[in-house]
Amino acid sequence: MKMRISVTIEDEDESAFTEPTIMEVSIPRVEAFTGPEVFDQVFEQYEREVLEARNGVVEEATEKYLSAVGKKNAVGVECTKRRSH
Amino acid sequence: MRWVKKTQSELNVQKGEAIERPKEYIIEAEVGQLEIDTFEITKGSRKIFSTKRDVFPETGPREHHKTVCFRELALFYPCDEPYRKSALKLNRALRRKKGQEVRVRTMANLVEREGEQIQAYVEKKAERILENHGWSSNGSIADQKKVVESIKEEEVILAQEKVCQMIEELNRGQEKEKHIDLEDVHETFEDPIAIKANISIDGVCCKKQKAKGRKKGSPAKEKREMVDNTVAHIQNKESKTYTAVSPTVSQMMTIVLAFLLSNGLLSEPGSLVFFTDGARDLRSAIQDMFRFLPFKIILDWYHLEKKCKDLLSMAINGKQIKSQLLHELLTWLWLGKVDRAMDLLRTVKEDTIKNKKELENLINYLCRNRSCIPCYALRKKLGLRVSSNQVEKANDVVVSNRQKHNGMSWSAEGSTSLATLTALRCNGEDRQWLLNCDIRFQFDAGAQKPAA
């Protein structure tokens, strides 16, 4: 079984600010939860994988977001310099 | 049974009355506080299916189930920091919303309950190991044949030439009376690369929580009550270590014996050496439990030195005389010449004695521990241990660093539980316990991946 986590960052006008970040992670099948005695072990696999994926996907999306922030500001500085010359 | 939301048709098939209980089962997880819908199918008054019972682990009324990842944080944060700080840290790390925060009391209860479960599990496991090897659960021998198969009495000692050579080196340049004579040295010197185990045991106490506050005007208690824990540090010939904690000395002896048996250490040739601080209860407990094979008890040098210093300080007048006497006393004891040390104390001039009783106490102490006082100088020269410092360090790590601070007081269960969890983590058994509720009871348990 897979969980797909997708992160999209959009401008106010709902246009894409960065390209979407998608991460897929394997999670235990529902049939694996055969009873209370295995619940903790099976759910631990789920939780660990999902937490890692969640952190990974947000990290990647944030990198893209901040790169875009940096790029925008760099353009702004260039313009200012040109004006001062 | 499948962990799926049953459709109405599925429920009808079972021809029972289906009851849906929205958001009834609450799980505390690292991903958040999860409120899960549950289902029950009843036939008459009989409950034939319940997700709360047949799919999820059963919980008490108003109790939230805690996942492995959540327990990992909630149980081990308090091992390093006070509960209040741990709760703040946990709520911050999990970004818990208002109303969903983990409470301080919840964490304390969780630690206490889990610690008690670990203690009970270790006790059961130790009893099972003892029974499998021919002992009864209280440590007495039940099946002589099995016991004989489990132990090897053979000692491996250092070659006499090596010992003689070291004695010669130590005697070189020393006054005649301070010479070590091989004939006077009664103990054997274990080969450090062929030992069964070096075991250091010590008790550690912290202040006991008062049952209720003192009433105004009531007399203060003479002595503050303490909570005792016993810590054992077991080291094998490869210097791998294991730390055990228990609330009583007798329980600790059972755990130590079971650990040695389950790791096959008693069936290896070599010496079994105990290092203690000279506490009478420890010594008698060791002697009672391990009387079936030869072992050595060595009195820790630091404690011997401290005891001499403390008792002489109370017994003798005059700073200079006292320090001179102490120096001479320690010189004899370092050489393992206990008789000379006692003679020295017996011949102290009457006019320098401040408290004769304390002097007698010191003589009695040396007399009582004579068999545990080796020739420290020679042991040190041979590269053998003379100290129980490993268990002192273990005491700090599992109890003192967390539990011995100003204003702190503990219930017996709270103190032992916290120490048990800290030791569990030190031994690398934490994942195994959280995932499988099992303890491997082995050196380097953390190096092996727990079976999920």
CA distance B363 to B437: 50
> Does B446 score more than 80 pLDDT?
no
Please tell me if residue B31 touches chain A, with a CB cutoff of 8 Å. Answer: yes
Q: Does B69 contact A33 at a Cβ distance shorter than 8 Å?
A: no
Please tell me if residue A50 touches chain B, with a CB cutoff of 8 Å. Answer: yes
CA distance A34 to A44: 14
Q: With contacts defined as CB-CB under 8 Å, which chain A residues touch B55?
A: 33, 35-36, 39
- pLDDT over 90, % of chain B: 78
Identify the residue among B33, B50, B68 best suited for mutation to test binding to A, counting A beta carbons within 10 A and taking the highest: B68
| Average per-residue pLDDT for chain B | 91
B71-85, B163-177, B244-258: range with lowest mean pLDDT: B163-177
pLDDT at residue number B450:
55
- How far apart are the two ends of chain B, measured CA to CA in Å? 21
ipTM passes above 0.90: no
Structure letter (DSSP) for residue B353: B
Question: pLDDT tens for residues B133-153?
Answer: 999 988 899 999 999 999 999
- Rounded to the nearest angstrom, the minimum Cα separation between B451 and chain A is 10
Q: Which residue of B has its CA nearest to A52?
A: B31
Strands (E), B248-314: 271-276, 296-299
How many domains are there within chain A?
A: 1
CA distance B145 to B138: 18
Please tell me if residue B348 touches chain A, with a CB cutoff of 8 Å. Answer: no
Structure letter (DSSP) for residue A37: H
Tell me which residue range forms the domain holding A67. 2-84
Please tell me if residue B30 touches chain A, with a CB cutoff of 8 Å. Answer: yes
Give the mean model confidence (pLDDT) for residues A42-68: 96
